[in-house]
Structure 1
Amino acid sequence: MSAPSVSVSPPPSPSPSPTSTPVAPAANAGYALLILTLINLVNYLDRYIVAVALPGIQQEFGINDTQSGLLGTMFIVVFMLASPLGGFLGDRYPRKFLVAGGVLLWSLATGASGLATSFIALLVARAVIGIGEAGYGAVAPSIISDLYPRDRRTRMLALFYIAIPVGAAAGYGLGGWLTQKYSWHVAFFAGGVPGLILGAMAFFMPEPQRGAMDGPDAQVKLPFMVGLRGLGRNAAFWAVTAGYTLMTFSIGGLGFWMPTYLVRERAMSADSSGFLFGAITAVAGLLGTVAGGWLGDKLDRKREGGGLWMSGIGLLLAAPCMYLAVHLKDVGPTFAAIGAAQFLIFLNSGPINAAIVNCVPPAFRAFAMGLNVLCIHLLGDAISPTLIGNIADASNLRTAIAVNALPVLLGGLALLVGARLFRDAVPRERATA
């Protein structure tokens, strides 16, 4: 007998029609979403402390911009390579244990970063952080998809991804203040404490049944090779991943280098640049993520791929804002352009990730998310900090950051293609049957 094929579309009845009875979230879904969101906040806090502490690290270790970019690249490379393994395990074992263990590991490594006495030691600590985060990043969205029905997933995932701008802002603000007042070592010490607490709390999260919110015919068990072949034929998944990758390339490089740009090119102090950039990231990211979650669910109810269509338009509008940010002379308009770009980019957080979990079977969601993480980082922010550092060494940091607008523009076009493919793969009458 031949192996069963895997459909590109979600299982039947994932999204209720307007006349059907709404599906209630799983028990204790709110507690699990809260813990996962707080962990995601600490996740991004840990990532961005190094960005605002970079001038002090460069001074202490005597490293250039290309070497400094390796601090971002090393973390991302390890994180992306380990993520498919985390997803593979997440589809087969209790996911809350992977979450808890990963958080505890990366939090210990964050504290160890503050003990580094050489550039190599700091690189090793950043690599270990990547291993810990891989045990969490791939499985968290699959947990949320099993806690909430499809007609609420975009909003719930948007709440989960609110932690990105808030955590990044906390990393910039806390890292800048502690670096300025004490040292960059102390900033890393402080960053590791919250994760240790949340890692212990994660052991008490509920472990939802896979496919619980996707109807009785959902594929909750699937041989790995069968699922892999189905994913390889899933055009919607790959189009979304391509757009996500281009966006990640750009915002990863921007987030890593913008505080240093404000210090070097705009003559701001490290604490001021970190605080202002972090505040703008928090406000614009928070508003963009919430708006994207609400609009994404609303547009998806009207047509399949509606949220992805909105995401593509958002990136097309964000590209010129990013370019203008480093060409405007006054600081005020510069920050306004940065805020507009971030709002438009963060519209995507909920819709993109909801599209990924909705277009693959429940039994393969964690691996699909892990593979997505591998792709967006392998060709995205794993290389962008170093490439931008190379361009900055060859010309200047303003030119290097301005070039970043091009991947955002191309990412918007890719998401528009993904919206069309998603709509064709999952027609509305099938989704509401």
Structure 2
Amino acid sequence: MARSAAFRSFARLMAAAVLADDRHVSANDALGSLDEFTATRTSRLISRRRFLAKTAAIGTTLAFGTMCSRESATAKTTSPTLSVGIVGAGLAGLACADILKTRGINASIYEAGSRAGGRCWSLRGFFPGQVAERGGELIDTLHKTMLGYAKRFGLQLEDVNKEPGEVFYYFSGQRYTETAVVTEFRDFVSVIRTDMHRLSREVTARSHTSDDAALDHTSLLAYLEGQNGAGIAARPMAKAVIIAAYEAEYGLAAREQSCLNFLLFIHSDRRSSFTPFGVFSDERYHLVDGNDRIIEGLTGEIPGQVTSNSRLLRVRRLSDGRIELTFQQEARTVTFTHDTAVLAIPFTTLRLVELDANLALPPAQRQAILTLGYGTNAKMNVGFSRRPWHQLGGNGTSYSNLAHHQTTWEPNPSVGSDTRAILLDYSGGQRGLT
């Protein structure tokens, strides 16, 4: 699930800046063209999904498999006697167990906490008549698995993109219009183009050039301040907006983020034109009654398979090839053996686990487990007795470089009203720590 509704707004403006530069049109015209393109593309995606759903309803297996991979899995054969252990009862672990169940395998799931769901955890009963998300919140139009779960469990979606009003950009004591932001972004597009042409087609840890590596070792802050191929710094407002967006979204200070994360946000196609990634990540949906209703649906179909309060201590391979998992369960240590195991936990947790040498993990994989960095984000949901942002012409989404504000949006808009609403204050980097 996407994390930030506000980042969608940033992506839209960055895309408009590239489009304006490509077509030599005004910022306002570029915004209009982009919105028209996005609406058309979304409509086509929805129409395709509806077509597939109707085709599935009359028994076309291929289309139904396209809609939800769970059903397609039934066509494949796997021995039901296979013993599978899954560590982690978040969405990844539960989805894995769900697929295995269609193949006749009842996997054993081990969860360190007292509940399933991981960061998919909704907050009910605190805000009258509304639901907020403690963790994962937004679902893209292309997130077919999540949308498939929503349909399967009869859950209502809300389109958070439909809210009327403007996005507020407030930097250095001044509010800026979308057009003004796009215009400043546009001035930096030529710099982006210079460095995009330096990048290889596919930049990976295993395949990269010296230019790729040099850019990867250049921080986002340094890049915006002129340490780039053109030697040109971003204009002050553009720099402030980009930093605010990336620090909130990825949870790290701009000086700690690689500029590659910014450059690859816009990727070059075979015609050397530029395609804004933000167009394809619309962060459009949220479940009206909370995203963890999907967790409830999944766990409801695998009764008795989840063992809670089991913290993984060690993983090793036995002489017969089976996998031994050792857990801490309160004051005791327990061991379970399976034919195979799936580790569906974050690397920050996995790096605390003893991974035996006989697992023969590649050095690069061990290095990733030990060193992969994560950002720090925090959410503060604030309840209101009205929607004051509507009175100001806004939709609740905002960005700023104020000391105590980075970005906000309205997380449960379809059930908000003139007498109740929630505004989410989303922060990252240093502010996310405090």
Same fold flag (TM > 0.5): no
Higher share in helix: 1
Shorter-chain TM-score tier: under 0.3
Give 1 or 2: higher strand fraction: 2
Structure with the larger RCO, 1 or 2 (CA within 8 Å, 6+ apart)? 1
TM-score computed with the length of structure 2 as normaliser: 0.23
